Amino acid sequence: MRKNIAAGNWKMNLAFEEAKSLSEHVSNVQVADGTEVILGVPFPYLEQIQKVIASNPGVHVAAQNCHQEAKGAYTGEVSLGMLASIGIKTVILGHSERRAYQKETDELLAQKVKAALQAGFKVIFCCGESLETREAGEHFDFVEGQLRNSLFDLEAKDWKQIVIAYEPIWAIGTGVTASPEQAQEIHAHIRTLLKNTFNEQVAEETSILYGGSVKPANAKELFSKSDIDGGLVGGASLKAADFEQIIKSF
């Protein structure tokens, strides 16, 4: 049985006291059975926020990125070993903003995913198309290419540690949301790809999240779709009351 997941990606936001207050609020939310809450926390706060949420077994902390190498002369980078040493075991990879601003390629992300899995991490892997790609009717092929290039060399057993987050770039931070029907259509497409590439068990057990202006007003309808298992939430995850409502939308 795959989990419902409410993941909040804080990106480069919040001073520490704000982050602490937000995580304290989230740690006091009653998380339903079969649901997991994940906070994508900036690097400087990871250890402290991990301690804040420790009292709630349904809430976890994720890093927003990692380097593919174990160590070395990579100024400003953070290794999986460093993250593991402070108790972090989940990492977000392939977010469209890192693809765009840091020029992360499918090939680089394949290296990062394999390194993360070998280190025992859970990976939230992001994929999604631009507005131009969507309007050209090429979104199915584009997302399939992202997954095939970065994930489809894995073995079926590796998928126990993978969560997919489909994020249409045209809906991230814009206030525009894919309709529940549009989101369901491509989530179902992704699940069919997993079934055809690996097996039915992988397809049925892999959580697929929607990301793209998820908010309390649309979360319940999005999450009610059969192939949408939750959300990777941006702006609304920075507001305690809004994120609590999203957590309770399953």
Which one from 97, 129, 167, 244 is the annotated catalytic residue? 167
Verify whether residue 167 is a known catalytic residue. yes
Give residue 65's Cα distance to chain centre.
11
What's the token pair of residue 26?
Answer: 């989230």
d(CA 199, CA 184) in angstroms, rounded, equals 20
Closest C-alpha to 234, from 151, 170, 172, 186: 172
Sequence-separated (6 or more) residues with CB below 8 Å from residue 133? 139, 142
What's the token pair of residue 19?
Answer: 């982050």
Which one from 60, 67, 95, 139 is the annotated catalytic residue? 95
Verify whether residue 138 is a known catalytic residue. no
**Kind plus residue range of the DSSP H or E element containing 96:** helix 96-101
In Å, how far are 63, 123, 141 from 189, measured between CA atoms? Answer: 28, 20, 10
What's the token pair of residue 197?
Answer: 């590439």
162 φ, ψ (degrees, to nearest 5): -115, 135
Instruction: Fill in the amino acid letter for 122.
Output: K
**Kind plus residue range of the DSSP H or E element containing 200:** helix 200-205
For β-strands 162-166 and 122-127, DSSP reports them as: parallel
What's the token pair of residue 73?
Answer: 């002369």
Q: Which positions are catalytic?
A: 95, 167
